C-alpha cells in the first residue's frame, strides 16, 4: 500500500508557483492578486480562508480578504464583486461557501467575471470543463487529478466510483475522470446498494462528509482510494469518509486525512490564480499590439 502524499506534492507545487510569481514580477511587472469574500463568522470557513491567505503570502501572491457580516444584503455583495471584477490588481476572486441562507449562491457565483473565477464554479467554466476545453477547474477535483498524475495513476479504461454529487466536488470530479477516459459511476444519497458500486471500482473517490462511510468490505483488493471527506470527531481529531485503518490494508494507494486531498486544494487554487494572472497579461499585450 502506498500513501498518496498530498502534503508533499502541494509543497512542491507551491514552490513552482513561487517561481512563477517571481518570473511574472521581474519579466512582466505583474504581481498576481487574489480576493476572497468571507460572509459571516463560520469557524470552518474562517479557518479555510486563513489557510488560503497564508499560502498566498508564502507564494508572493497579493491577497485581500473581504470580511462581511452574516446580515449583509445580497445586493451589497454583488456591488463588491462588481468592484473586484473591474480592479486590475485582482486576478482571482473566490467566495467562501457556504453562504447564509438569505443569499442566492448561484447569483453570487455567476456575478464573478469568468476570467477571474479561480474556484471554477461559474457556469461558463463549468461548461467549458464539461466539454474538455481550457477552463478554470474547481481546486479540489483538480488536486485529485494532479495527485493521481504524480503517482502515474492513469484513470483511462478504469472503473471509477465517485461517491458524492455536489457541484463543488462530486460532479466536476466525475467530469474530469470521464474526460480522462475512465468509466465513471456517480453515487449519491439516493443510490441503492452503494457497496455494489464501490466493489466494482478500480478507483474510489469519496467526499460526502460522513465518518466511516467506506468500509473494508466495500473495497476490492488493490483498489485506489481517494478520500476527499473531512470530518472533525468529538475529540477534535480530523478524519475522512473512509475507515482508513482497515481499508488501507486492501488498497494499492490511499490518501490520508489530513495530509491528502486538503493541501492539494489550496495548491491548485494558487495554480489557478497564476493562470488568471498570465491570461490577464496576455489580454493586455494583445490590446497594446
Alpha-carbon gap, residue 138 to 265, rounded angstroms: 9
Q: What distance lies between CA 31 and its chain's CA centroid?
A: 23
Of 103, 2, 91, 132, residue with least CA distance to 269: 91
Answer yes or no: is 164 a known binding residue: yes
236 Cβ neighbours under 8 A, 6+ residues apart:
none
Check residue 154 and report its DSSP letter: -
Residue 52: active-site member: yes
**Assigned C-alpha cell, 278:** 498570465
**Assigned C-alpha cell, 140:** 479540489
SS3 of residue 204 by DSSP? strand
Answer yes or no: is 204 a known binding residue: no
Query: 14, 20, 96, 241: which one is catalytic?
Result: 96
Integer CA distances (angstroms), 239 to 143, 185, 228, 231, in order: 19, 24, 10, 5
* Distance linking the first and last C-alpha atoms of the chain: 54
Query: 119, 202, 227, 243: which one is catalytic?
Result: 119
Integer CA distances (angstroms), 274 to 3, 7, 71, 129, in order: 28, 20, 33, 18
Answer yes or no: is 165 a known binding residue: yes
Neighbours of 197 (CB within 10 A): 19
Alpha-carbon gap, residue 211 to 198, rounded angstroms: 16
Answer yes or no: is 111 a known binding residue: no
Alpha-carbon gap, residue 56 to 287, rounded angstroms: 29
Output the known binding site for NADP(+): 164-166, 189, 230
- By annotation, the residues acting in catalysis are 52, 96, 119
Annotated binding residues, written as ranges, equal 164-166, 189, 230
Amino acid at each position: 500500500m502506498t500513501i498518496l502524499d498530498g502534503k508533499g506534492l502541494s509543497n512542491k507545487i507551491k514552490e513552482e508557483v513561487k517561481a512563477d510569481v517571481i518570473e511574472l514580477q521581474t519579466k512582466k511587472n505583474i504581481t498576481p492578486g487574489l480576493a476572497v469574500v468571507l460572509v459571516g463568522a463560520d469557524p470552518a470557513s474562517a479557518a479555510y480562508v486563513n489557510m488560503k491567505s497564508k499560502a498566498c503570502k508564502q507564494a508572493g501572491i497579493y491577497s485581500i480578504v473581504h470580511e462581511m457580516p452574516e446580515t449583509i444584503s445580497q445586493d451589497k455583495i454583488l456591488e463588491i464583486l462588481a468592484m473586484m471584477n473591474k480592479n486590475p490588481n485582482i486576478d482571482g476572486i473566490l467566495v467562501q461557501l457556504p453562504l447564509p441562507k438569505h443569499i442566492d449562491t448561484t447569483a453570487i457565483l455567476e456575478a464573478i467575471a469568468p476570467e477571474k473565477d479561480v474556484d471554477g464554479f461559474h457556469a461558463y467554466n463549468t461548461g467549458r470543463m464539461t466539454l474538455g476545453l481550457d477552463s478554470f477547474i474547481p481546486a479540489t477535483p483538480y488536486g485529485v487529478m494532479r495527485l493521481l498524475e504524480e503517482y502515474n495513476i492513469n484513470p483511462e479504461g478504469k472503473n471509477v466510483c465517485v461517491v458524492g454529487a455536489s457541484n463543488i466536488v462530486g460532479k466536476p470530479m466525475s467530469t474530469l475522470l470521464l474526460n480522462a477516459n475512465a468509466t465513471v459511476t456517480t453515487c449519491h444519497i439516493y443510490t441503492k446498494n452503494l457497496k455494489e458500486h464501490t466493489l466494482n471500482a478500480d478507483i474510489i473517490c469519496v467526499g460526502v462528509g460522513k465518518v466511516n462511510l467506506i468500509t473494508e468490505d466495500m473495497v476490492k483488493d488493490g483498489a485506489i482510494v481517494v478520500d476527499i471527506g473531512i470530518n472533525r470527531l468529538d475529540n477534535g481529531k480530523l478524519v475522512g469518509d473512509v475507515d482508513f485503518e482497515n481499508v488501507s490494508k486492501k488498497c494499492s494507494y490511499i490518501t490520508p486525512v489530513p495530509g491528502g486531498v486538503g493541501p492539494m486544494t489550496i495548491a491548485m487554487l494558487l495554480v489557478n490564480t497564476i493562470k488568471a494572472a498570465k491570461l490577464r497579461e496576455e489580454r493586455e499585450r494583445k490590446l497594446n499590439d
